[in-house]
Structure 1
């Protein structure tokens, strides 16, 4: 479980760092709601922005536990017993943890600027949309990490942070939608075979289409980043599994691809 928690923490901290930087550039600010055990980690992230907090609306809400020490000046902190008590406005990023997270996903994700990170036991995947990835240990124990957002740019940012985390011993990623259930090492240059299969299957459903459409499919429907689609398609083209028009030149979003 230690390895799972380390990866979950690293992904959450990396995305929270990017989210906070954006919140501090906006007049609307933002609220981070922590319903798991990462409040101290969140405070360390906010502490890195201590010189910019004054005059901005940035709030940390901790659900079900006491506030840790080390609150940076300029950060508002609230402690509540139940997330249902919250009345929130503006952009909100929420971390929900455990099997009890699922009934809270819909209400916390509802509204403009609302984003949710869920960490829960694998096999309990109850939300069809969003980026979901299983964290699988060497002994086969798996945890689910899910991110929901209405903003595709934020989803792309989350995917970038997902693949940029440190490679923790024994933890690999698996796409819950991959019928082959392939385990993939955490890397900035990940194995693309599961994506290659998914893109070929999508082309079978769509017929010929621009690469840009498959990049968007990659963003919305897989654990991979849009740029990974270029590498996966390039390999499939070289193997004769996919055709392209024009036949030569650099593969770009405008290139049209299809099955032979």
Structure 2
């Protein structure tokens, strides 16, 4: 891994918030499974991870939950029942069962493929924007001074991706960070909110309808999940506003918009 550069506080706060929120959801699921799970920390968030695991201290006994810290020592505060070890390289970590890995910095990209390989293996990357390529679900975090970093989530589980998206939009809206979709040609900055601005999504869905011809709302919801920074439920609002503006037709013409409703361009 390349030497880490001190990150602006605005970026670090949002990165930490997203990671902690998703790790909390991931840990709860791991403790409900007989397979357990391993969290591999390759950045500076090991102490935050320990605080998350500490919230489950009454459930750790009898479950396989492990923390692997790469490239640094283990912070104080390890809760009883949590297995902990240190590694020099995330590629050398061998585990059975689900794995969530956090990679940090520009040196993360060559490691993504290796750490995401295997069933149940997921990766969160925090790094300078511009070098992520087409890996996973990417969101640019843009600070008030215009400096951008990228947050990337790699998973083969669409339910986990939906959970990650939910946590993404639930972080502190006053952190001084706005989101930008790297695939948005107009590069619109969107405030963090549980009810975000949907114009970039609406434009993306119209382009997808132009490509498909017609589509069910369910198909557009899946497109929003996989191909944008938005959640599936956001597609309902975007399609509704497009229908109101006369940009989209629907079948049936009346009634509540449901996943089975078919929509298309006029």
TM-score range, shorter chain: over 0.9
The answer to whether the 8 A contact 2:14-2:175 is kept is no
d(CA) in 2 for partners of 1:59, 1:168: 33
After superposition, residues 65-214 of structure 1 pair within 5 angstroms as 65-126=72-133, 128-214=134-220
- TM-score of the superposition, structure 1-length normalised? 0.98
How many pairs does the alignment contain?
259
d(CA) in 2 for partners of 1:153, 1:168: 28
Helix, strand or coil: the match of 1:3?
A: helix
Helix, strand or coil: the match of 1:249?
A: coil
1:62-100 C-alpha deviation (Å, 9 max, x unpaired)? 000110000000000001122232212210000000000
1:245 counterpart = 2:251? yes
d(CA) in 2 for partners of 1:101, 1:247: 49
1:22 counterpart = 2:29? yes
d(CA) in 1 for partners of 2:258, 2:31: 34
d(CA) in 1 for partners of 2:155, 2:39: 14
Runs of 4+ in structure 1 over 3 Å off: none
Range 165-174 or range 40-49, more displaced: 165-174
Q: CA RMSD in A?
A: 0.7
For structure 1, the residue ranges without an aligned partner over 5 or more in a row are none
Range 84-93 or range 227-236, more displaced: 84-93
d(CA) in 2 for partners of 1:161, 1:108: 22
- TM-score of the superposition, structure 2-length normalised? 0.96
Q: Displacement, 1:130?
A: 2.1
Helix, strand or coil: the match of 1:202?
A: helix
For structure 2, the residue ranges without an aligned partner over 5 or more in a row are 1-7
The answer for the alignment partner of 1:216 in structure 2 is 222
Helix, strand or coil: the match of 2:159?
A: helix
d(CA) in 1 for partners of 2:159, 2:194: 19
Q: Displacement, 1:129?
A: 4.4
The answer to whether the 8 A contact 1:7-1:168 is kept is no
Range 18-27 or range 163-172, more displaced: 163-172
The answer to whether the 8 A contact 2:135-2:152 is kept is no
